[in-house]
Every structure is written in C-alpha cells, then in structure tokens.
Amino acid sequence: MTVERVAHGRTRRAARRRGVVVVLLLLLAGVFAASLMVGRTFYPPSDVLAVLSGQDVPGASFTVGRLRLPRAVLALVVGLCFGMAGVAFQTMLRNPLASPDIIGISTGASAAAAVGIVTFGLSGAAVSLLAIMVGLGVAVLIYVLSFRDGVAGTRLILIGIGIAAMLESVIAYVLSRAAAWDFQEAVRWLTGSLNSASWDDVLPVLVALLVLGPLLVVKSGDLDMLQLGDDAASALGVRVERTRILVIVAAVGLVAFATAATGPIAFVAFLAGPIAARVVGPGASLLVPSALVGALLVLVADLCGQFAFDHRYPVGVVTGVLGAPYLVYLIVRTNRAGGSL
C-alpha cells in the first residue's frame, strides 16, 4: 500500500509539472505574440505571420521584423537564462536569497560595464565581453572566499552580499565622475533595458543558453539531491563538489551572458524560482518551469514598461518594483520564524 501511494504521488506530481509547463508555454506564446503586435501601430496576426514567413509587408516588415522581433526574442532568451540560473543557485544552496542578483554576480558584471563605459570609453561588444569576464571572475572569487571544508550556503550568500556592496560603491564612484553622455549610457545599461535590441545581442545569449542550459538540465537530479545536504547527497552517489562546480559555472555563464546583453534586469533570477515552486508544487525539478517563468516575467514587464504607464520605463525598473517588496517580505518572514538567511 505504501509503495502504491508513493508511486501514485510521483505520478500526480509529474502530471502537475507537465500541466504547468504546458500552461506556461501557452502563456509565453501569447505574450510573445502580443509583443510583436502591440505598439504605437497595431499589426494584426496576419501581418505578423506574413513578416515571420519572409513576406514584405509595408510598415510591418521594418517595425515587426527589425524592431519588435529582436526585442521580443532577446527578452525571451535572457528571461530563460535568468530564471534557470536563479533557481539553480537557490536549489544548490538551499536558500531563496541565493540568487545571482543578490550575491553579487550580476553586480560584478554591472561594475565592469560601468568602468568600461565611463573610464575606458568602451561600447557594444567590448562592454559585453568585459561584463562576462568580470562576472565570471566575481563568481570564482565568491566561491574561493566561501570555501572552507566545502561551501556552506549561508557563508557564500553573506560573502556575496558583502562583495556586492563593495561593487555598488565602485559603480557609484565611477558614475559620480562620469561625463554627461557617458553617465546616461552607463545608467541605461545598469538599469536593465531591452531598448536598441538587435540580433547581434541575441546570438551570444542564445548560444550560451543552448550550451549551458542542457548541462543544468542533465545535472538536475544531482542538483535536487544537494537539497538533502552534502553528506546525504554524497551517500546517494552524488559527487558533491564536482556537481556544485559544474552548476556554478553553467549558472554564472547564463547570468553573465544575459547581463552583458541587457544589463542586470533586477530580481528576475530571484523571483522565477519561488513563483515556479508555488505553481509546480514540491517534489519536482524547477529548472524548466523557472526558466519559463523568468521569460514570462521579462516579456510582461517589458510590455508594461512600454505601454502600461504615462511614460516608458526600462524593463529593469518594472521588475525592480515587483521584486523589491518580495525581498523585504522574505527577510521579514525569515526573521519572524527565527531562522537565518
């Protein structure tokens, strides 16, 4: 009887996860389609489909094909990257605060971009490359500083928050000395924006997603085992440090490439995992659902930033408004429960 109940529970959880993934895919397809149709000029689905099939439609070919489509695809792929990377860190370290934008990885890429733009006059691909390299370097630094007979989640988070605070000071200092034009360019990048999105921005992020995303999915079983603790995971046959290093490299790579393309879109990596956990339920891998939630958050936030208010706002401003209250709520709830971060 017990075995049958366990098998039945697993079947129900798997069915629920599949149902949630299907619903998220349908929502994502609807929002993606809306982002191609809605704007100062509304184009019906027939015009959008004609453009996507390669036909020349006056007005729509330029607006949809060259402006809206790269923007929507970039929002999609960076959302997938942020969502998957965020939940990988949160699962591995067993803490909802263990998100790349909380523990300093995104801040490292941002600081590098600010220094590159203001101090060295870099732009375009050079800024992106510098952001990727420094983001990876900051992740290595956090890992090394937090390593002592293994990596404790709380220690890594606290060290990451401290490094993030120092990097925020670097950003503030650099911006205080920036010329007007460089200041505007740096702030636009630091806010997290999909403006001026192009296929050149999409390609590196898409390649990173296609290479590193499957690596995380393959390691999802071992990643879930890490939630039981290092000793239990090791007893179950998981090579703990090897798995942790592979997960960190893959997740940091996703975050670095996504941040290099759009800037640090606030709180997407932080929110995607908890939202996916609520809708999927316990006992199922959250990597794919979190990736879809991340993409949905970025696409919806971008649409809201463009058309829901009197003024247009970068996508990072909208996600920041959504994520900041949840961060405060999480800290207050943890404090009231008498737990530690």
- pLDDT, one tens digit per residue, over 68-100 is 999 999 999 999 999 999 999 998 888 887 888
Q: Minimum mean pLDDT among 6-15, 182-191, 262-271: which range?
A: 6-15
The contacts of residue 59 (CB under 8 Å, 6+ apart) are 41, 43
Specify the pLDDT at position 234.
83
Residue type, 144: V
Structural domain 2-336, CATH architecture: Orthogonal Bundle (1.10)
Question: In a 3-state reduction of DSSP, which class is residue 151?
Answer: strand
Question: What average pLDDT is seen over the chain?
Answer: 87
Residue type, 237: G
**pLDDT tens readout for residues 243-255:** 888 998 899 999 9
- 315-336 helix and 268-280 helix, angle to the nearest 10 degrees: 60
Specify the pLDDT at position 341.
45
Confidence check: pLDDT of 340 > 50: no
Separation in Å, CA 238 to CA 143, 223, 225, 246, 257: 20, 9, 8, 13, 28
The model's confidence at residue 9, banded by pLDDT at 50, 70 and 90, is low
Residue written as tokens 């995971």?
Answer: 233
Residue written as tokens 């020349």?
Answer: 56
* Chain center to CA of 193: 13
**pLDDT tens readout for residues 280-329:** 877 778 999 999 999 999 999 999 999 888 888 899 999 988 887 877 77
**Conformation bin of residue 147: beta by default, left when phi > 0, alpha when psi is -120 to 50:** beta
The model's confidence at residue 23, banded by pLDDT at 50, 70 and 90, is very high
Specify the pLDDT at position 6.
58
Specify the pLDDT at position 7.
63
**Distance, CA of 203 to CA of 255 (rounded, Å):** 15
The model's confidence at residue 216, banded by pLDDT at 50, 70 and 90, is very high
Confidence check: pLDDT of 129 > 50: yes
Q: What is the DSSP string of 123-175?
A: -THHHHHHHHHHHHHHHHHHHHHHBSSSB-HHHHHHHHHHHHHHHHHHHHHHH
